[in-house]
Structure formats: C-alpha cells, structure tokens
Amino acid sequence: MLGGILMAVAISVFVLVHEAGHFLAAKATGMKATEFFLGFGPRIWSFRRGETEFGVKALPLGGYVRIAGMNDREWVHPADLERTYRQQAFWKKSVVVLSGVTLNVVLAFFLLFGLFLATGVVESTTTVARVSPEITEGVASPAAEAGLRSGDILMAIDGVAISDWDQAVEVIMTRPGKAVVIDLIREGERRTTSATLGSYHPVTGEAVGFLGVSPGSRRVPVGPVRAAGLAIRAEWAIFTGTLEAVGRILRPESLIELGGALAGRSDVADEIRPVSPIGLVQIGTQATRVGIGNMVFLLAVVNVTLAIFNSLPLYPLDGGHFAVAVYEKLTGRRVDARRLIPVAVAVVMLMVFLGLVAVVLDIVNPLTL
C-alpha cells in the first residue's frame, strides 16, 4: 500500500516538474504565463500570485501551463502582445516547449545516478553458484560429468587464465564439442578436472560451447563517475525500449486489438498494453516488496515515458508545438491555428482511447511484477 501511495505522489511530482519547466522557461524568456494547473476539468482549488493562477483541477490526468498567445487566434490584451508566445524568436519558443521533457530526462538521470551510487552494481564472479545436472532429460551436462560443484572457483579453462565470468563464457563458447582442462579451487585446494563441452546451447540452440554452470555474484560499490556513466547507459536503454513500445502500440493492428478491451476482452498482449496511473500505482505497490531499488528504477522509467510521450511531433503535445515552430522557422510562414484543430482533435481522441483502454485493463486484469 505504501508503495502505491508513493507512486501516486511521485507521478504528481513528475507532472509538476514537467509543467514547472514550461513555466520557468516562459518566465525566463519574458513570456506571460496566466495559468499553472495540475489536472484538467473543473477547478477544485486555486490561488493567484502575480499574473499567474495556480491550482488543481478535478481530473488528475496531467497538467498544463497556459502561455499567452500560443496560437494566432487567441485574443490577447494589446499591452501583452510583446510577451506572447507567438511573438517570440524560434529559440525562445523551443526552450519553452522542450523544457518540460528536458526536466523529465534530467530527473530520470538523477534517479538512476543516485540508485547506482547508493547500491552499486551486481557483478558476476568466477565462483560457480549452480551446476546444471542435465542438458536435456537423461543427458548429463558437461559440468556434471566433470564433477564440478557449487562453490568451485574457476581459475583457468583450456590453459586460459580466467579473471572474470565474461572471459570464462568467451572461452567456453568458442570451443564447442572440445575436451578442455579446467583448473579450479575447491575448499581452498587447487584441483584439475576435464570436460567435453557441449556443441550447442540448450536454450538458444546456437552452435557454441556449453558447460552448464551459473556464476555467483557480488555487489560492487561505484564512484560518481562510473555511476554517471551507468545512469546514462541505463537511461538510453529505457529510452530505446520505451520508444519501441510506443511504436508497437500505435500500429493499426495493435489499436484494433486494444479496442477489443473496450468490448470486454482482457487478454491483450503485454507488449502493446498501455498503463494508466491506476496500473502504475498497482506496480508501485508490488515494487516495494522486491526492494526500493526497483521502485527507484520504475520512477526513472515513468519519467522517460513522460518525456517520450510529450516529445511526439503531434499537436497539441510539446513535440507538436516544436514541430510547428520548426516549420514556421524554415518557411517563414505562420501556421493557421484553425488548420491544426483536426490534428489536435485526433490526438486527443487517441489519448482518450488509450487512456480508457489502460484503465479498463488495469481494473479487470491488474498488472503483476
């Protein structure tokens, strides 16, 4: 339950950070921001400070910052014309519309950076943690035939000294079907045994050497520099994976399958299933059971997802506003806001559709870790 509450609070904070990026960028570039709200629909609570009204609305489906003159059809008081979005230089428009996703990306980085700095990384050792008894039913694994045991420390294979597990894997995989000598330490004593490696991998079927052992592991602390590098690589992996997932969801056949959820089907494939705030809270409740590290990682994923979704070049998303700004910069012509209305309607309908599907699925078929 605590994890679910933390997830709900965290999502609200991430939306707040995203919108704060737009608000602060608008103020910094001299634009007039008239509203800063979390949620949509009827006002629940608000207050005014200076020229901006801050508050909360009834539907907790995101947030927004209203900047004067975001389209050329909006009426603006003559005294504020110079402070409208539409009157600003391209670089200022770009800063404002991209500031929200930028803060989400930065926040995801710091979450991952803090996670790696606090917990370190898990590295495989050259100690055998488990010996597979069989390759297939009735066929002993090379490791079992060689008499290897859990706790054995591999020192050399086929005369090649082993310093880490990746090196052991490389030596084994490049010797399919070959008889090799294995030097090891068992209970403090140096020993030697021999094994005839398998000639294919029992899971993938690849023609590679196979021994049949699993490595032990240890947690290794890391410094700030390595933690930063690991955070960048982890965020890039999240980014590419999420982008692929979005692409799968938006395919026509996927949208048709998702539509079945509104007709009573709940067996939607996980790889195209959208997740609502309800589902995120459910995941958060489960994530805390398997460690705070999983919760932090999940929060980073949420930030990257928010950044990717808002970066899509679809009006009225942030990416859509940026695409319009780029078009106007390249062509020197202002886009008529009326022509963007059909695009905005289609995008909003798509968002509502995916949101409804996600809510239905998260209620009738809750996600489990």
Tell me the pLDDT of the chain (369 aa) as tens digits. Answer: 666 777 788 888 999 999 999 999 999 999 999 999 998 889 999 999 999 999 999 887 788 999 998 877 788 888 889 999 999 999 999 999 999 999 999 999 999 999 999 999 989 999 999 999 988 778 899 999 999 999 999 999 999 999 999 999 999 999 999 999 999 999 999 999 999 998 876 767 778 888 999 999 999 999 999 999 999 999 999 999 999 998 999 899 998 888 888 877 777 888 888 888 788 777 777 766 667 788 889 899 999 999 998 999 999 899 999 999 999 999 999 888 888 889 899 998 998 898 888 888 888 888 776
Neighbours of 212 (CB within 10 A): 24
Strand partners, 96: none
Give the number of C-alpha atoms closer than 13 A to the C-alpha of residue 263, restricted to the C-beta side: 7
3-state secondary structure of 77: coil
Residue 287 to residues 6, 284, 290, 359, 368, Cα–Cα distance (Å): 11, 5, 6, 20, 9
pLDDT score of 3: 67
Residue 131 to residues 37, 149, 211, 278, 307, Cα–Cα distance (Å): 58, 6, 9, 42, 44
pLDDT score of 288: 61
d(CA 61, CA 133): 53
d(CA 310, CA 276): 16
Angle at 277 between CA 323 and CA 44, to 5 degrees: 85
3-state secondary structure of 321: helix
